[in-house]
Chain A
Amino acid sequence: MIKIKLKCFSQVKYAMGQDEMVIEMKIGSTTSDLERIVRQRSEGKLEHIDLSIAINKKYVKDEVALNDGDEVALIPPVQGG
């Protein structure tokens, strides 16, 4: 198993109820697997929300394999004004 430090921003933070948590995943898991787990745990609160992903504070465009100890940020676009 690998441990991933998840950083939650904006709606993700409110959906998960915290801004940081550790998630255990199988070796070989990817960013898509992590996103799927987070969406499941959010109980539908992230259903219509797109998420951008950064690993160790670097934005990643495509699906990437995760390593033990990675810090993964889930960032939704926000509105504003």
Chain B
Amino acid sequence: MITPHDLNLWIREGRSFIAIDLRQIDQRDEMPLVGIDHVIADASGIPESDQEMILICQYGLVTEGLILEKGLKNTYSLSGGVEAWNAFLADNLDISNWSRQVILEEVGTKGQRKLMNSRIGIIGMGGLGCPAAQSLIGAGVMNLSIIDGDVIEQSNLHRQMLYSANEVGLIKVNVAKEKLKKMNGKASIKIFNSYLDDENGHSFFRDLDVVIDATDNNTARRSIDKFSREYNVPMIYGGLYKYEGQVAVFNIKGSCSYSELFPSSKNNNENCNEAGMLGMLPGIIGNIQALEALKIIIGISPNLIGKLMIYDGMNHTTQTIRL
């Protein structure tokens, strides 16, 4: 495979290669391939050549399969296809890594751009925050803010997959940043090594498009709810109890707030240290929160705006309550 970025380097270096557009005429008409000297052919018309060849289709999937199937040598598939190439030329934005999600009708290059230009905040880098952060960076979010004042403990390791045994005692946000940067070195990870409070909340929320509540207590959630409403930043709530998880999207388009659904300010329920927790459950719920964040950013529905979803990990049922 070759990425749009590398292909652009080849062109600028004057490297010799043959580019072949394998798309059907309707796709070529709708989205012409620009900026590359190329020939048009179908799969049976690929010439035999000693020169390096680049095969191009709409999303880079057909050409990838073709090269494997025919065992073509010195031949590369343009990663992400014409969709990724044109986005690269337009915005210098390489979306080829996300070709498998760009192909989804609801995402497309437009949605991918929205995701890459968004800023998402995660409050709490524990059992929910780790999978949410990993999935969002994996999905192409380039601006992530994370806040947590905790250090890694041995009892965290079974469910907080960003951390390893040799990192016990280290500051969570520092280690999380290092790991997330390994996933995508171009992503900007802004870290706050403290718990959310009335002072840092303003600078944390100021630039956000969406915030993920990955905390573990009612007091923190009420604080997030307050800032979420003040800064008009939708709040993706996630909570856990033993085998059960809750997810809701609050404070958007006039929807219910956390404090309206759960009016009491008491911290009267057991957290996972007291009630117990399998590592898979926060993995599932944190990923659902990341999915809802992605849907809100791109504008995909249905979603959990104005709804509370309760997931039961014991018998794999869900119940959705309208709020």
Binding site for B on A (CB under 8 A): 7, 9-11, 13-14, 19, 48-50, 52, 54, 57-59, 61, 73, 75-81
Among the interface residues A14, A58, A75, A79, which one has the most CB atoms of the partner chain B within 10 A? A79
Instruction: Please report the C-alpha to C-alpha distance between residue A11 and residue B52 in the assembled complex, in whole angstroms.
Output: 64
17 pairs from A and B in contact (CB 8 Å cutoff):
A11-B270, A49-B268, A52-B261, A59-B256, A59-B321, A75-B308, A75-B310, A75-B321, A77-B262, A78-B240, A79-B240, A80-B127, A80-B215, A80-B238, A80-B239, A81-B216, A81-B272
**Closest residue to B265 on the A side, CB-wise?**
A50
Q: Is B128 an interface residue (CB 8 A)?
A: yes
Contacts A9-B310, A78-B246, A81-B214 given; indicate if A50 touches B322 (C-beta within 8 A): no
**Closest residue to B156 on the A side, CB-wise?**
A81
Residues of B within 8 A of A79 (CB): 216-218, 239-241, 269-272, 275
Residues of B within 8 A of A9 (CB): 244, 310, 319
> A81, B128: Cβ atoms under 8 Å?
yes
> B320, A57: Cβ atoms under 8 Å?
yes
A-B contact count (CB 8 A): 99
Instruction: Please report the C-alpha to C-alpha distance between residue A13 and residue B268 in the assembled complex, in whole angstroms.
Output: 16
Instruction: Please report the C-alpha to C-alpha distance between residue A58 and residue B270 in the assembled complex, in whole angstroms.
Output: 26
Instruction: Please report the C-alpha to C-alpha distance between residue A54 and residue B124 in the assembled complex, in whole angstroms.
Output: 29
Chain B residue total in the interface (Cβ 8 A): 42
A78 to chain B, nearest CB (A): 4
Q: Is B129 an interface residue (CB 8 A)?
A: yes
Binding site for A on B (CB under 8 A): 124, 126-129, 214-218, 221, 238-242, 244-246, 256, 260-264, 266, 268-272, 275, 282, 285, 308, 310, 312, 319-323
B110 to chain A, nearest CB (A): 34
A52 to chain B, nearest CB (A): 6
> A59, B241: Cβ atoms under 8 Å?
no
**Closest residue to A61 on the B side, CB-wise?**
B260
Instruction: Please report the C-alpha to C-alpha distance between residue A7 and residue B261 in the assembled complex, in whole angstroms.
Output: 17
Residues of B within 8 A of A54 (CB): 321-322
**Closest residue to A59 on the B side, CB-wise?**
B323
> A50, B244: Cβ atoms under 8 Å?
no
Residues of A within 8 A of B215 (CB): 80-81
**Closest residue to B239 on the A side, CB-wise?**
A78
A80 to chain B, nearest CB (A): 4
> A78, B244: Cβ atoms under 8 Å?
yes
Instruction: Please report the C-alpha to C-alpha distance between residue A52 and residue B246 in the assembled complex, in whole angstroms.
Output: 13
Instruction: Please report the C-alpha to C-alpha distance between residue A37 and residue B244 in the assembled complex, in whole angstroms.
Output: 24
Instruction: Please report the C-alpha to C-alpha distance between residue A79 and residue B215 in the assembled complex, in whole angstroms.
Output: 8
B168 to chain A, nearest CB (A): 18
Instruction: Please report the C-alpha to C-alpha distance between residue A75 and residue B221 in the assembled complex, in whole angstroms.
Output: 17
A7 to chain B, nearest CB (A): 7
**Closest residue to B266 on the A side, CB-wise?**
A50
Q: Which 6 A-B pairs have the closest CB atoms?
A: A81-B216, A78-B239, A79-B271, A80-B240, A78-B241, A77-B262
> A58, B321: Cβ atoms under 8 Å?
yes
Residues of B within 8 A of A75 (CB): 246, 308, 310, 321
